[in-house]
Amino acid sequence: MHTAWTVKYKPKSLNEVIGNVEAIQKFVEWTKSWEKSPPKKRAVFLYGPPGIGKTVTVEAFASDSGMEFVEKNASDYRTEDAINHFAGLASQYGSLFGGKRIILLDELDGLTGTSDRGGVKATTDVVKIAQCPIVLIANNAYDPRFSNLRNYCLLIEFKKPPAGEVAKRLERICEDEGIQADENALKFIAQRSGGDVRSAINDLQALGQGKKELAYEDVSWLGYRDRQDSIFNVLRMILYGKTCIGAKQAVDMADVDVEMLFEWIYENVPEHLTDPHDLVSAMDALSIADVYRGRIQATRDWGLMRYVIDFMTAGVAMARKNTRTSGWIPFKFPARIQMLSRSKAERAMQLSIGVKIKRKNHISATRASREVVPYLKIIFKNNVEMAAGLAKWLDLNQEMVEYLVGDEGKAEPIIKLMS
C-alpha cells in the first residue's frame, strides 16, 4: 500500500516549509512572547488559501520547540460544550510531564453557518483566558461570524508561495523517488496548482509514481483544480451561465465574499442583460436575494444564506432568455462600493458626533448621526452663539465643529466662544 507523498514528505521542521517567511517569523515571535507572560493577544489566527502550509507550520514549530502539540479539527467540535471540553480544559492545564503546550483548532471555517451551535462564541471565551498558545486556522479570517473573535487574535496572513519554490520542492521529491523529471513538467505542475503545495504534490504522485522518467507530455493534459477564480470569470459563469448548478458553483470559486459578489452582479446585470424582459427577471431575482439578506441581518439566521445565493446566481443566470451577445462587454466595479469608500470618512465623523450626542440624550449613536446631526449643521451655519453653546455642552472637538460648519474659516468664531 502506497503512502501519500503529502504525508511522506511533510515538513518536519520550519526550515523545510516553503514560502511565507515573514508570516512564519511573525508566528514564531508571537509564540516565544509566551515565555515571559501571556501576551495581549492570546491566540493567533492564521488564514489564507488551502494547501499553502498553515497547519504544517504549527506542527513543525511544535516539533522544533519540543512542545506538546494538541490538535483538533474545529469543524468536528461545533457546540459550545464540545469546544469548552476540549480547548477550554487543554488551555487551562499544563502538560502531563510539565512541558510547554500549543493548541491548534484547524478548519475554523467549519464552525460557521447553520452547523455552528455556539462553537464560535465558545472559542472566543476560551481565547480570552487561555494559559497557553492557541492557534486558529481558517481560509477566511474575515468571515462576519469571526468579527468578535478577531478582536482577541493576532491575525497573520499566509499567501501562495511562488511557483518556482513549489517546483523546487517537487524536484527534491523526484530525486528521492528516483524519478528523472523534465524541469518544464515540474514547472507546469507547480503553475497549475495555483500555489497549493499539497495539490501539486498529489498531482506529482498521481502522474509520476512508479515511473523512472516524467516528461512534459506526461503532464500537459493536467487541468486546473476547482480553486478561487477572479471576479471577472465568476461573473461570466453567472451572467452567461447555462445551468443553475454551474451558476451556483461560481460562489465557491469567487475571490470575494457573498456580500461583495452581490454588489458586482447588481452593478453589471444591466450591461449584460439588455433585453427588457430578461433584465426585469434578473432584477426580480436580485430583489428577492436582497430581501433574504435583510432577514439575515435582522434575525442572524444564517441558514437563509442559501436562498440569497440561489436567487443572486441561478436566478440571474436563468433570466437570460432573449438577450443576444454582441461583442465584448467589460465588467464594471460596483458604484455603490466606490461611493461608500469615498464617504467612509464622512460617515465616521457623523458617527463620532453621534456618540457625543448619545451620551447627553440617551439615544443610539446611529440614530443621533442620522436624525440629529443634520439639524446641528443648520444651527452651526446660522447661529454662532448657539453653536458654541451646543459644542461646549456636547464636548465637540475642533474637527467636529469644522465638519458641522462646513468651512474651516467660519468655525473660528465658534471655537473662540467655546474657549
Report residue 9: phi and psi, to 5°.
-110, 25
Instruction: Dump the DSSP string for 85-111.
Output: IIIIHHHHS--TTS--EEEEEE-GGGG
Rounded to 10°, the helix 183-192/197-208 angle is: 130
Ranking 116-120, 183-187, 223-227, 237-241 by mean pLDDT, the lowest is 223-227
Residue with cell 436575494: 289
Three cell numbers at 183?
A: 524541469
Three cell numbers at 317?
A: 443566470
Highest CATH level, class, for 163-219: mainly alpha
Position with higher pLDDT, 81 vs 213: 213
Pairing of strands 153-157, 68-73: unpaired
Q: Which residue type is seen at 259?
A: E
Position with higher pLDDT, 95 vs 324: 324
Position with higher pLDDT, 4 vs 299: 299
Instruction: Say what the pLDDT of residue 327 is.
Output: 62
Give the pLDDT confidence of 347-382 residue by residue, as tens digits: 778 888 988 888 888 788 888 888 888 888 888 888
| 80-81-82-86 Cα dihedral, nearest 10 degrees | 110
C-alpha–C-alpha distance, residues 27 and 129, integer Å: 20
Q: Nearest 5 degrees, angle CA 142-CA 310-CA 194?
A: 50
Ranking 30-44, 134-148, 344-358 by mean pLDDT, the lowest is 344-358
CA-to-CA dists, residue 127 to 34, 44, 45, angstroms? 14, 9, 11
Instruction: Say what the pLDDT of residue 77 is.
Output: 53
Instruction: Say what the pLDDT of residue 257 is.
Output: 74
Give the pLDDT confidence of 280-333 residue by residue, as tens digits: 999 999 999 999 999 988 888 888 888 999 999 999 999 999 988 766 677 777
DSSP H helical ranges for 102-196 = 119-128, 147-150, 163-177, 183-192
Alpha-carbon torsion 142, 146, 150, 155, what sign?
negative
Q: Which residue type is seen at 279?
A: L
Q: Nearest 5 degrees, angle CA 24-CA 52-CA 143?
A: 90
C-alpha–C-alpha distance, residues 307 and 68, integer Å: 44
Alpha-carbon torsion 381, 385, 388, 390, what sign?
negative
pLDDT at 131 over 90: no
Report residue 327: phi and psi, to 5°.
80, -175
pLDDT at 274 over 80: yes
Instruction: Say what the pLDDT of residue 59 is.
Output: 92
| CATH code, residues 20-157 | 3.40.50.300
Secondary structure (3-state) at 319: coil
